[in-house]
Chains A and B, each alone.
Chain A
Amino acid sequence: MYKRTGWIGPAMALLGVALSVLVLWMVFFWVPTETNQGVIQRIFYMHVPAAWVAFMAFGVVAFASAVYLWLGDERADMAAVAAAEGGIIFTGVVLLTGPLWGKIAWGTYWTWEPRLTLTLLLFFIYVGYFMVRAATENPEKGKRFAAVVGIVGALDIPLIHVSVLWFRSLHPEPVVLKAEGPTLHPDMLTTLLMGFLSFTVLFVGLLILRYGLERAQRELNLRQVAG
C-alpha cells in the first residue's frame, strides 16, 4: 500500500509500539515503587522519554531548517515539517502528563515556574511554525519564515534543560544527565532507558511515514499545478 514510505518506517513504528508495550509491563508490574513519591512517580517513565523525543524532534526541525535555508533543498523542508508535527504531539503529551504528576507531587496541576513555562512556550513556538507556513501568500516565503522560527524555537531547548539549575524551581533536577552519573535505582534506570528506546524507535518510524506523506502531498500538488 504505502509504496512511497518503504518498509523501514512502518517496521520501526511497529517495533516502537511493541517495545512500548514491554515498557508498560515494566512500569506496572516490574519496576519498584519510589519511596518518596510513591506510585505517582511511575509517570516519570513516560513523561521524561516523551520530553526527550520532543526535544529530539525540534532538534531535527532546527537542523533541517538550517539546511533548507542554506541549500534550498525541499527534502530538508519536508523533514522539518514531519519532525515539527511529531514534536508538537510529544510536547502535548509532556504538557498533559506533567500536571497529572504535579497535582499529586506538588499539590497543583500547574505553576508558572521556569521549566513548565518554557516548555509551554516551546509548544506554542512550533504551533506558530505551522501557522507561519500557512499565513503567507507565497508558499516559498512561508517555508523560509517557518525555517527561521524552527531554528530560533530550538534555542528554548537548552534553556528548558538548565532552567531547573539556574532558577528556583519546583521541578526536580535531572537524575540521569548529571556530572556524577545517574542517581536512580538500577531497575528504574533500566525502565527509563527502555522508555527512551521505545519512544525513539516509534518516533523515527513515524517520522519516516510522515516524511513520505509530505512527499506524496507535494507530488500531488505539483501534478495538479502541471495538469
Chain B
Amino acid sequence: MMRRSFKIFGLVLMVAALVPLAAGPLGAQAENLGQQGLGRAYWHVFLAYAIAWVFIFGWIVSIARRLGRLERSLQNQDG
C-alpha cells in the first residue's frame, strides 16, 4: 500500500515537474509575442477545458472505483 502511494505520488511529482521544464528560455519565447494566430488561442482554450475535465472526471472515477471496491470488501466481511 505504502509503495503504491509512493509510486502514485512519484508520478504526480514527475508530471508537475514537467510544467516548468516545458518553459524554454524567456528571451526566445518573448519573440513569439504577437505571432500567435487566433486558431492557436482556440486550441489552447479547448485543451485547457479538456485537461480540467480529464482531471475532475478522473478523480470522480477514482473515488467511485475505490468506494465500490471497499463496499464489496465490507459486505463480504459482513457475510
Q: What is the interface of chain A, defined by CB distance below 8 A to chain B?
A: 1-5, 13, 24, 27, 38-40, 42-43, 46-47, 50, 85-86, 88-90, 92-93, 95-97, 99-101, 103-104, 106-112, 120, 123-124, 127, 130-131, 134, 202, 206, 209-210, 212-213, 216-217, 219-220, 223, 227
Contact = CB atoms under 8 A, between A and B. Distances in A.
B71 A4 contact: yes
Nearest to A40: B41
Contact of A134 (B5, B13, B19, B60): B5
Contacts of B19: 95-96, 99, 109-110, 120
Contact of A131 (B6, B32, B52): B6
B5 to A, nearest CB: 5
28 contacts: A1-B68, A1-B71, A2-B67, A2-B68, A4-B71, A40-B44, A43-B44, A46-B49, A89-B56, A90-B55, A92-B12, A104-B40, A104-B41, A108-B30, A109-B22, A109-B23, A112-B20, A123-B16, A124-B16, A127-B16, A131-B9, A134-B2, A134-B5, A134-B6, A202-B56, A213-B63, A216-B71, A227-B77
Interface of B: 2, 5-6, 9, 12-13, 15-16, 19-20, 22-24, 26, 29-33, 36, 38, 40-42, 44-45, 47-49, 51-52, 55-56, 58-60, 63-64, 66-68, 70-71, 73-74, 77
A227 B26 CA distance: 60
Given A1-B71, A109-B23, A223-B77, A46 B44 contact: no
A50 B67 contact: no
A112 B64 CA distance: 37
